[in-house]
Structure 1
Amino acid sequence: MPNKISCVIITFNEEENIRRTLNSVKWCDEIVVVDSGSTDKTIELCEEFNCRIYNKEFNGYGDQKRYAVSLAANDWILSIDADEVVSDELCEEIKNIFNDDEIKFCGFFLPRALIFLGKHFKYGRESKEYYLRLFNKNYGNFSSDKVHEKVELNGDTQKLNGMLHHYSYTNIEQYFNKFNSYTTNAAQVLFDEENKGRSVAAIVLGFPVYFIKNYLIHRNILNGMQGFLWALFSSLYPVIKYFK
């Protein structure tokens, strides 16, 4: 491809996912991995794919991803998480765009589908959410937010059609390990911003509202037991974050 792409991935103990992820992006011109102290076989597996591997203490998702972007040799960045997989259709779509000498956009939104506890969600918001993950670093970068980081871009964007598959969690224990990490980071953000102005009653009473929204309005009721659990756990997130 005349326009080269650097794939950037941040990792921590991702041996269950990383091989599948790296296989899906081995067509990229380089793969940059920023690890935050994995104690499993993550690094060993990344070495098999000739990744450029760096280590950095974790200070939040935004900071970690910004650092990864800064290490990339190419202007165009494909940022995916260690539990995501670029579909064959998305791969071909990106290659077709980047085979042209001139790219008309500064970034591309990728549609992402959730696979939770082995079930591919076919209904609701989680079946197709768009994320800005392919972008020219001369026009933007990730925000520095500790959690819920996003790419902030000054330029035109386009939505792509090929799917990015998110193999979220394979078991409940894995979910709550990451849930605990996310809520702790989010609670720290609240504390730092002194943003605990909502009453306990408002937080607790908000739970059934969140659940109805996640389960019924977002149509997770159609995704079976996994849809129920996803709606339930997602609705607990703001409650646990606040009380931490």
Structure 2
Amino acid sequence: MIAPLTIGPVDTVEAGRHSASAPVSANVSVLILTLDEEINLPACLASVGWSNDIVVLDSFSQDRTVEIAESFGARVFQRRFDSEPSQRSFGLKDIPYRNRLVYLPDADEVTPPALRDEILAIASASDRPEVAFHVRSRTMFMGRWLRWSGLYPTWFVRLVEPNRVHFEREINLRTVADGPEGRLAGHLLHYTFNKGLSAWYDKHNRYSWHEARESLKSLRSERIGWSDILLGSATARRRALKTLSFRLPCRPLLRFLYMYLLRGGFLDGRAGFVYCRLLMTYETMIVTKMMELRRRERGLPL
């Protein structure tokens, strides 16, 4: 259930429905999900200061996240986090917006001016049929863009009509659009390591449980989409390759070799080597937890 913070005289759900009802075709609303993002949030908010309607949906942060959001003039709401799909769905469906399109950067992503201009140009074009737009991100690590080891280009849906999309998967969220989709030429800058390596390990320790369950589910119910690997879209190819990877031996080592050698991670220098090692560690977490889940299903001790 939503718990709006008192930021101004109209900052309640009901008042928001009236104050945010007039559409502004040449502008775009912004929704940012947060939990203890005081390190990342200032840069993220500063890069979307052009929006006339910034919303922060916070999961009851214990740091200065809410204070920072208020200082940038954002409308702040709070809701207990249960899963990413339900949190994002709530943010889009239950919070009113001033504009037709809503932009969805993560708190650790920065929006460069070129991407801003492209987003605003789309908002001002009333004849565009797309209801969702995909954006590429550039993963930043150790002071550089991981051009080769950062899984570039990976596309994420970041600009949507709120009532024309829904979300699937608890981890590695999948956005499904009810209508045409488009791609933006600009890039986001993704500072995934801003909170430090300990935070990265904590996050991927949680994610690896979900990935382990998804891996087991895939092994038992899904077939490898060979046609998608050869002829499918980038998204379908990536999904098919992931399904294939569940069936390969020595997954952590293969993940490292694939990223560092085949994908050219060595071209990213020391940062690329360290990042590929981190991905191998993450794969090890997944494989080990798959083993644990299998043993527990059979009533065996770990």
TM-score, length-normalised on structure 1? 0.86
Counterparts in 2 of 1:93 and 1:195: CA distance versus 1, 3 Å:
closer
* TM-fit CA distance, 1:129: 2.2
Provide Cα deviations, 1:3-25, integer angstroms capped at 9, x if missing partner.
54221111111111100001111
2:260 is aligned to 215
* Structure that is richer in strand per residue: 1
Choose which of 55, 69, 76 in structure 2 pairs with 1:32.
55
Structure 1 residue 234 corresponds to structure 2 residue 242? no
Instruction: Give the 3 Å change call, closer, same or farther, for CA 30–134 of structure 1 in structure 2.
Output: same
Greater than 4 Å deviation, 4+ residue runs: 193-197
Match of 1:151 among 156, 171, 175: 175
Does residue 205 in structure 1 map to residue 250 in structure 2? yes
Aligned-pair CA distance for 1:68: 1.2
Secondary structure at 1:7 match in 2: strand
Pick the structure with greater CA Rg: 2
TM-score, L = length of structure 2: 0.71
Task: Tell me which of the two structures has the higher relative contact order, counting C-alpha pairs closer than 8 angstroms and 6 or more residues apart.
Answer: 1
- Name the counterpart of 1:18: 41
Q: Is the 8 A contact 1:4 1:29 kept in 2?
A: yes
Assess if the C-alpha contact under 8 Å between 1:34 and 1:56 holds in 2: yes
Q: Which residue of 1 aligns with 2:157?
A: 132
- CA distance in structure 1 between the partners assigned to 2:122 and 2:255 by the alignment: 39
- 1:183 maps to amino acid: S
Deviation track 1:56-91 (CA, whole Å, cap 9, x = no partner) reads 222122221111112142441211110001110000
> Once the two structures are aligned, what percentage of the paired residues are identical?
25
Q: Identify the residue that residue 81 of structure 2 maps to in structure 1.
A: 58
Contact 2:28 2:120 in 1 (8 A): no
Give the aligned CA root-mean-square deviation in angstroms. 2.6
User: What is the CA distance between 1:46 and its match in structure 2?
Assistant: 0.4
Cα distance in 1, alignment partners of residues 75 and 102 from structure 2 = 14
Residues 69-88 of structure 1: matches in 2 within 5 Å?
A: 69-70=92-93, 71-73=95-97, 74-88=99-113
Q: How many residues align?
A: 239
Mind listing any 5+ residue stretches in structure 1 that lack a counterpart?
none
Indicate the residue corresponding to 1:162 in structure 2. Answer: 186
